Every structure is written in structure tokens, then in C-alpha cells.
Amino acid sequence: MKATWRFTVACALALAASRLASPALAASPEGRWRLVEQRYEAGTANVMADESPLHLELTIESGRLVGRIWAGDDPSSAVPWPAFSSKAGSLATDVLERSADPLLGLAAARYRVQPSPGDDLVLVVTESYQVSKDGSALEGTLHVKFTGGDRNRGGYTLHRRFEREK
């Protein structure tokens, strides 16, 4: 009985050590990412071709997911993530939820884009990403739901793939 118990404990310790080794670190969403692919719904066309490069930088600080995002090559233009960007720049948002699981390589955020003055159109955005097994890509979706008053006004989903820069 003691030998079986020792073997069970040794296996559990080996499994725990292997989960804390490089695969867990490779799966962490922390780092700097560059958006390389973005497609609508079930489409196959990459709609990133004519866009400025979009960068996302994620860190875990005091157990909390923190990020910043910017278009182009100048990180000094970054705004806190999550953020909703348009051609006019980033729009004001109310963060409803933000979460991460570094060991599973997950990062997610849900936020509301504030309506323009005199408009009741509200965008509720959910971003959800997972790091690839080899740690080189961050893949997931950005789902936008349009609401206004008490009506659902539709929405869309973008499938996104970021590649690790740092």
C-alpha cells in the first residue's frame, strides 16, 4: 500500500512539474502580438490587407490582465485594452469584464462602446483569445452586438489571429 501511495504522489508531483515547465509558459497570453489575419464570420478573405498593423500587448499584473493596443508602428500611441477603434480613433468604452488564465493561455474581455451624443446605438463587444500550443499565435474572436433601446440590432463576428512579436 505504501509503495502505491508513493508512486501516486511521485506521479502527481511529476505531472505538476511538467505543467509548470515551458509548455505553460509558452501558452501564456502575456507578450506583444501583431494582428496578421482577420476574417468575417465564416468568410475566408483576410480583411487585414489594407489596414495599419494592429498590436496588442498583454501582461498579468497582481493577478489581473492588463493590456494596451495601438495601430501602426508607434507604441507611444497605445490606449488601454480593451478598446474599440475606428478610423476616427479609439471610442470610449465601459469594461464589463476582463479575464485571463495564463496556464491555459486564455485572455478575454467584454465591454460596451458608449453611444455618440443623441444616439441610442450601443455596441457590446466580446473578445476571446487562446494561445496556440506552440505559443506563436493568439487566436480567437471579436463579436460585436448592436443594441439600442430595448432592441437587438444585429451584429457580426471577426475571427482573428495575432502572431507573437515578443
* Amino acid identity, position 108: A
Q: Please tell me which of 102-106, 145-149, 161-165 the model is most confident about, judged by mean pLDDT.
A: 161-165
Residue 149 pLDDT greater than 80, yes or no: no
Question: What does the pLDDT look like over 32-82, one tens digit per residue?
Answer: 999 999 999 888 878 776 678 889 999 989 888 899 999 888 999 999 999
Assigned C-alpha cell, 138: 493568439
Q: What is the pLDDT of residue 108?
A: 96
Question: Which domains are seen in the chain, by residue range?
Answer: 28-164 (2.40.128)
Average pLDDT over residues 130-145: 95
Which residue from 19, 51, 13 is spatially nearest to 34, judged by alpha carbons?
Answer: 51
The angle at the Cα of 115, spanning 91 to 46, to the nearest 5 degrees, equals 50
